[in-house]
Amino acid sequence: MSDKDYAELLSLRKTNKKLTEQLAVIQQQLKDSLEGNKELSQQLKGLQGKLDILITQMNKRNQRDYGPKTERHNPRPALAIANAPVDNAAVKPPKKPVARNHEKHILAQQLPPEPVHHSVSSEKSLCPTCAIATTVFDHEVTYQLEKLSQTLKLLEHRAEVRSCSKCKQYVVTAEKPVPPIPGSYAGPALLANIVTEKFDDALPLNRQQKKFAREKAIIPRSTQSDWIIETAFTLAPLYALLKKDVLSSKCVKTDDSEIKIQDRKYKGKMRKGKMSVYLGDKYHNSTVFDFSPNKSFAGNKEFLKDFKGFVQADAANGFDALFEDNSKTELGCNAHARRRYFECLTVELEICNEILNIYGELYNIEKDIKNKTPEERLLARQTKSQPLINTLHLKLLALKDTLNPTNPLMDAIKYTLNHWLALTRFLDDPDFDIDNNASERAIKAFVLMRKNSLFVGSDAGGMAAATHLSFIASCKRNNINPVEYLTDVFTRINSMKTSELDQLLPHRWIQIQKSKSHNSSSTKSS
């Protein structure tokens, strides 16, 4: 090999080595680039998931602030309106409002009429032709609904004191009614009105003070507050019986909401407690509120510690502790499960519409069988509701494997599948409800009171609120006027034996009143 060829060979080797090194560098760069793309892809996937969550939160907030409050679902509202038949004959121009005679409405109030006589003036009572006095032959009757402005009365109880005029030793005093609050001048009806307006009408005590002032009575807010706590102590034995009646149920429904408590130990600072509601089943028509000085679920466990049966509640983490010892069985709330899909309509419209349509059919079945016999309800659930539940279950299982884990709809699917057994137990017993809406409606009375009153002044005030809310809610369930009920209870409770107190439970009280009314009407007719 010549020197020239050897030099060229060395040059080629150097070039080849250089190209090999460059190729290795390019391969490493390509590898780094591909790994970087994977990392960027993961980051993009994570950002997309966060964006979906933010969009869902924004839509929920807009729905809450600006949308309708109901959860009525119509998957194709525009199409339904467009396809609706138009009856031109039914389209009429608006009419001018006509003054109507409200006599039927007034008479329907079932108020006893109070006659008010209007006499003809003396000048017009003489006949101008015959110059003699006219005689009354008829009355023109009209009705007017009126309210008395002065409703407070100061009753002066004068107990007669008698003595023997001969021996001068025997002295006897007439018995007076036992007051609801010993040593207080508050009457039963006054206390019943204050309690009802506070806990049923959500009228704070400072506003009631202004109301009493317009009737020329000075009843400070602090005095009313003391009366509310004292009457709660008076009702304590009856409250225990009401609680016992609820815990005798086959199924107890429960829900809770927080409440602010003024802590006087720390210069009036606020702390948070909780108000829980417990509803008996249809065979125990009572409702009990229970106050807890903190937000822990220890109060719920204490209230239900001796209860052996079914508990229907939402799937809050705290309620899970109730079912750890297997002494109680969980019933789920399908309204909570349905609500999660309603909130995801803006994320997965088509999927959520299909699921909500299934829930809509389930609730239509429940509406149709509401007033039917237990046998008919059970048959309808097993033949109509069960296939829909099976379809829903298969659909959710399929969706679980196809959706992105960060998709907000996955939270709704996981909630439903994790509590599937509890959510479907209503299919096997006609006494169970499909949801827990009854307890949510019951606790709204407390929520409205909390909104207007802002807080309770002490733990004693919270317990008093729970007591009064319990009896008012139980009155509502039994179609009782709470003012009439509480007036009668406050009148009699302190003079009754403990063994007789169960007669004052709302469901027993209304039965006794109806019996008395029936006997009275029978006596009059005979």
- The beta strands (E) that lie in 86-175 are given as 161-163, 171-173
Strand partners, 260: 272
Q: What is residue 343's predicted lDDT score, i.e. its pLDDT?
A: 82
The residue with greater pLDDT, 102 or 172, is: 172
Highest mean pLDDT: which range of 82-86, 196-200, 264-268: 196-200
Q: What is residue 249's predicted lDDT score, i.e. its pLDDT?
A: 92
Overall average pLDDT of the 127-151 stretch: 78
The residue with greater pLDDT, 181 or 87, is: 181
Whether the Cβ atoms of residue 320 and residue 287 lie closer than 8 Å to each other: no
For 390-432, what is each residue's pLDDT tens digit? 999 999 998 888 887 778 888 889 999 999 999 999 999 999 9
For 21-54, what is each residue's pLDDT tens digit? 777 778 777 777 767 677 777 777 777 777 777 7
Looking at residue 103, its amino acid is E
- Across 50-64, 373-387, 426-440, least confident range: 50-64
Q: What is residue 82's predicted lDDT score, i.e. its pLDDT?
A: 43
Please give the Cα distance from 32 to 38 (Å, whole number).
10
Q: What is residue 99's predicted lDDT score, i.e. its pLDDT?
A: 47
Q: What is the DSSP string of 269-303?
A: EEEEEEEEEEE--TTS--EEEEEESSSSTHHHHHH
pLDDT tops 80 at residue 200: yes
- Nearest alpha-carbon partner for 46 in 405, 443, 364, 357: 405
Q: What is residue 104's predicted lDDT score, i.e. its pLDDT?
A: 56
Q: What is residue 319's predicted lDDT score, i.e. its pLDDT?
A: 78
User: What's the residue count for the chain?
Assistant: 526
Q: What is residue 98's predicted lDDT score, i.e. its pLDDT?
A: 46
Q: What is residue 182's predicted lDDT score, i.e. its pLDDT?
A: 86
Mean pLDDT of the chain: 83
- Across 51-55, 92-96, 163-167, 204-208, least confident range: 92-96
The residue with greater pLDDT, 484 or 23, is: 484
Q: What is residue 240's predicted lDDT score, i.e. its pLDDT?
A: 94
Highest mean pLDDT: which range of 39-48, 376-385, 451-460, 511-520: 376-385
Overall average pLDDT of the 258-269 stretch: 79
- Read off the pLDDT band of 75 (50, 70, 90): low
Please give the Cα distance from 220 to 340 (Å, whole number).
47
For 121-132, what is each residue's pLDDT tens digit? 888 888 888 888
Task: Report the relative pairing of strands 251-263 and 171-173 from DSSP bridges.
Answer: unpaired
The residue with greater pLDDT, 162 or 73, is: 162
The residue with greater pLDDT, 69 or 449, is: 449
Q: What is residue 24's predicted lDDT score, i.e. its pLDDT?
A: 78
Whether the Cβ atoms of residue 415 and residue 442 lie closer than 8 Å to each other: no
Which structure tokens are listed for 361?
């059919």
Please give the Cα distance from 264 to 452 (Å, whole number).
21
- Across 41-55, 202-216, 490-504, least confident range: 41-55
Q: What is residue 133's predicted lDDT score, i.e. its pLDDT?
A: 84
pLDDT tops 60 at residue 108: no
pLDDT tops 80 at residue 170: yes
pLDDT tops 50 at residue 79: no
Overall average pLDDT of the 79-104 stretch: 49
Q: What is residue 246's predicted lDDT score, i.e. its pLDDT?
A: 94
Strand partners, 287: 279
Looking at residue 361, its amino acid is E
Residues in contact with 339: Cβ distance below 8 Å, sequence separation at least 6, in sequence order? 71
pLDDT tops 70 at residue 105: no
Cα dihedral: 503, 509, 512, 514 (round 10)? 180
Q: How many CB atoms within 10 Å of residue 235? A: 24
Q: What is residue 526's predicted lDDT score, i.e. its pLDDT?
A: 58
- Across 102-106, 113-117, 191-195, least confident range: 102-106
- Across 18-27, 356-365, 381-390, 470-479, least confident range: 18-27
pLDDT above 70 as % of the chain:
86
Q: What is residue 128's predicted lDDT score, i.e. its pLDDT?
A: 83
Cα dihedral: 366, 371, 375, 381 (round 10)? 0
pLDDT tops 50 at residue 280: yes
Which structure tokens are listed for 511?
């039965």
- The beta strands (E) that lie in 475-525 are given as none
The residue with greater pLDDT, 267 or 329, is: 329
- Nearest alpha-carbon partner for 381 in 452, 431, 324: 431
| Residue 325, CA distances (Å) to 244, 307, 322 in order | 22, 12, 7
Phi/psi of residue 332, each to 5°? -85, 170
pLDDT tops 90 at residue 113: no
pLDDT tops 90 at residue 288: yes
